[in-house]
């Protein structure tokens, strides 16, 4: 533990600027041979635990859901593609995982849909031990969500902000000292170039798809640090971490214009990680013994990595939190 980390009774708050979390087991998960069975040998069994994975119908989300189910978890795949989601859950279950998977519809671009999903989950009386906020979009042309928010900001960040807050009490009651519940926010190295414009969060003055995407990923890191601080101060058995999967060959790049897509294909085979490799850092944050009680970290390539200087701006963290509560209609504690 480095000098700038705060040691708390239940949690280690690691939102510091030095590399205080060395996660030695993760590099082996990033090898081309990574698989659900390989992860199962490295990570502890998770039988009896329940996870929600957003965007779990394809790409990294599907791989994360598959790995968590292989560890024994009951995984709820939340997404807006019904047929694809049902097929994903069926495939995971047919592969003989120790746990099980199911698909439940949720559209993160609709706050109403998020609320309906949470209510439906609550009505089942299930606990919740892991929430992986994976779903996202990248570099889409200027558009808005059903609630009028800029699309990247609404889907990547604001939908997950509401989802996490509505499920927070379940996460708290499901966790316990030495066996915390966990929230994993899928960020990106693009957050380093991000700027959160509190006066124009919807990017209506000057739109750039890259700028909008970078803002949404920075917002997730700001959210991670602020929420962990609140949880730690209250002694709640919940940890929150942001993860960076690196450059991963997924459908997110489908929004590139044609020439860029043509140029990307040969490069992807050499430089990009597979979805399974990209998902491994999220799975590690969700299940590794080494991460027990360790929150407020930005994880990349197996260790705590310094996120952008702006992400540590406590005033901006609080301002964004309050504004986000206002936008999604949440009362502040």
Q: What is the DSSP string of 186-239?
A: E--GGGGG----TT-TT--SS--HHHHHHHHHHHHHHHHHHHHHHHHHHT-SEE
Could you give the residue numbers annotated as active site?
A: 213
- Is 67 exposed, middle or buried (CB count within 10 Å of its CB: 0-12, 13-18, 19+)? buried
Sequence-distant (≥ 6) Cβ neighbours of residue 75 within 8 angstroms: 50, 51, 52, 53, 56, 65, 68, 69, 92, 99, 100, 101, 102
Sequence-separated (6 or more) residues with CB below 8 Å from residue 201: 149, 150, 153, 215, 323, 327
Whether 189 contacts 246, CB under 8 Å? yes
SS percent in the chain: helix, strand, coil, step 5: 50, 15, 35
């Amino acid at each position: 533990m480095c000098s700038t980390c705060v040691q708390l009774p239940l949690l280690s708050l690691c939102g510091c600027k030095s590399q205080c979390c060395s996660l030695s087991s993760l590099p082996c998960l990033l090898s081309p041979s990574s698989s659900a069975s390989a992860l199962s040998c490295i990570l502890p069994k998770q039988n009896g635990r329940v996870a929600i994975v957003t965007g779990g119908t394809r790409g990294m989300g599907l791989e994360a859901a598959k790995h968590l189910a292989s560890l024994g978890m009951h995984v709820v795949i939340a997404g807006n593609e019904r047929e694809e989601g049902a097929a994903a859950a069926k495939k995971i279950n047919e592969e003989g995982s120790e746990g099980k998977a199911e698909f439940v519809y949720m559209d993160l671009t609709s706050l109403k849909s998020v609320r309906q999903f949470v209510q439906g989950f609550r009505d089942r009386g299930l606990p919740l031990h892991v929430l992986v906020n994976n779903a996202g979009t990248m570099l889409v042309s200027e558009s808005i969500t059903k609630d009028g928010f800029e699309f990247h900001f609404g889907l990547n960040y604001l939908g997950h902000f509401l989802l996490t807050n509505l499920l927070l009490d379940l996460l708290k009651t499901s966790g316990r000292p030495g066996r915390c519940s966990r929230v994993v926010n899928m960020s990106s190295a693009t957050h380093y170039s991000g700027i959160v414009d509190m006066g124009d969060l919807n990017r209506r003055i000057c739109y750039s798809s890259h700028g909008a995407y970078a803002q949404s990923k920075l917002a997730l890191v700001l959210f991670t640090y602020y929420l962990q601080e609140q949880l730690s101060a209250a002694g709640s058995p919940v940890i929150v971490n942001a993860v960076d999967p690196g450059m991963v060959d997924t459908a997110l790049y489908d929004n590139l214009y044609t020439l860029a897509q043509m140029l990307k294909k040969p490069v992807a085979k050499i430089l990009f990680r597979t979805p399974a490799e990209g998902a491994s850092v999220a799975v590690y944050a969700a299940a590794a013994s080494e991460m027990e009680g360790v929150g407020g970290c930005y994880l990349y390539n197996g260790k705590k990595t310094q996120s952008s200087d702006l992400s540590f701006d406590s005033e901006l963290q609080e301002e964004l939190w309050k504004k986000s509560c206002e936008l999604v209609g949440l009362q502040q504690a």
